[in-house]
Amino acid sequence: MDLLVVATELYPFVVRSPLAARVSALAKSLRLLGHSVTLVLPRSPEFEENGILAARRLTPLSLAEGRQALLFQAELPSGARLALVDVPGRTVEGLDGAFAEAVTALALERAEHERPFDVIHGFGNDGEILHRRIREELGRDQISVHTPLDVGTVAASATATIYLSPAQASQAEGVDGFDPVRALLGGLDASFENPSTDSSLVARYDAEQPANKGRSKTAFSKELGLEIEPRKPLFVIDAGTSAAGLEVALEALVELTRQDAHVVVSTHRPLTPVEEAPLAVLSTMAAVVTLADDPSRRRAMAAADFFVSLDDTAIDAVPVLRAARYGAVPVVRNRGIARDLVVDVDAELATGSGLVFDVLSARGLVTAVGRAVAAYRSPEFPRLVRRIMRQDFGWERATRRHLHVYRTLADASLVK
């Protein structure tokens, strides 16, 4: 198939949300399966700063009222073609406005040369103007698909919506065009998310030879001033973006350290003086940090024995999948995207892919961590970690599901 992927961010060049990694991984996986992919994004300095040397196309795109859009082209290492749009005198932001007009002009140009794109897939919020333009200028036979970051920004003019996960789709029930079959979980890009090749780690390891994970734990603990004690499990708790998650984590902190564990709480904002006060007496047993970028998050997962997610609103699978890939056993609530990703382990640790708890409260968190500490002390724990790390985290399965949706829509269009 010949696909046009429309986005405003692309990992690792422009990253503002989980969509950046998804767009990059999907495009790369589509290419590996033999499909043609053109990525079109607004031109921004981050591309050149990260080594992308895009050549300006001699022929600009013609827009309304005699305006023009400049097109800068390059080829990514995956083989996907990259087209960067620049509209002189206009700030190109989001999927609407001048950018949507330029994307439609590019697709129309291809159609006029009898090489139309089979599918146009937009990623991001505010895609309605883009898909309305596609429908009006290329006709209803042109398949256009949209993946929003927020459910409230579903593009009604798109042929179909592909949700980031069943958890996100469940929030969209009742929205026109809702179809739970089109809720597709992604995976991990192995070129970045792989402990056996990750250059950001102090030592590399994998499921078959996991010993160097202990070196990552020691280095991370030293960096945060924590006690170096291998027999104690290290928990990294993602408090999420809501106030409730951080409140629960801080309320439970003292009790968590009494369970013979070290605890690192990851938060998205600085603590207030009142919130920081209890940390003074826990300085070698607990820390609160901000993991600001993907390398720091990967180093944390390489160090952690357990990853605890308190983010009930998460729609991105990557944090939980990354934890498992790096050997940090997920501890999650039985709701949201975690319900789609983690199966609760049994008492013998013979089955399951993590630990699941129900109540978001200090007591619920303490109970879940207590259960995890007991699992850590079990002789079966290393086998559990290896089983979790061996899961299929790749994008091929997710990409084939995307292709199934594309082809189903194309076949339905031909029937009409």
Q: Tell me the mean pLDDT in the region 267-293.
A: 84
Eight-class DSSP state of 357: E
Q: Of 253, 266, 242, 262, give the one whose Cα is nearest residue 314.
A: 242
116: pLDDT strictly greater than 80: yes
Identity of residue 376: Y
Sign of the CA dihedral 348, 350, 353, 358?
A: negative
Q: Beta strand pairing status for 61-62 and 234-238?
A: unpaired
Strand order in the sheet with 262-266: 286-289, 262-266, 234-238, 306-309, 329-333, 355-357
Q: Tell me the mean pLDDT in the region 290-318.
A: 90
Identity of residue 84: L
Banded model confidence at residue 66, pLDDT cuts 50, 70, 90: confident
Report all structural domains of the chain as residue ranges with CATH numbers, in order of start: 2-186+395-415 (3.40.50.2000), 213-389 (3.40.50.2000)
416: pLDDT strictly greater than 70: no
| β-bridge partners, 73 | 55, 83
User: Which two tokens mark 107?
Assistant: 């697709």
Distance CA 164, CA 148 (A): 8
Banded model confidence at residue 414, pLDDT cuts 50, 70, 90: low
Q: If you average pLDDT over every residue of the chain, what do you get?
A: 90
Q: Tell me the mean pLDDT in the region 407-414.
A: 83
pLDDT score recorded for residue 178: 54
CA angle, residues 328, 244, 240, in degrees to nearest 5: 40
Which range, 34-38, 185-189, 409-413, has the best average confidence (pLDDT)? 34-38
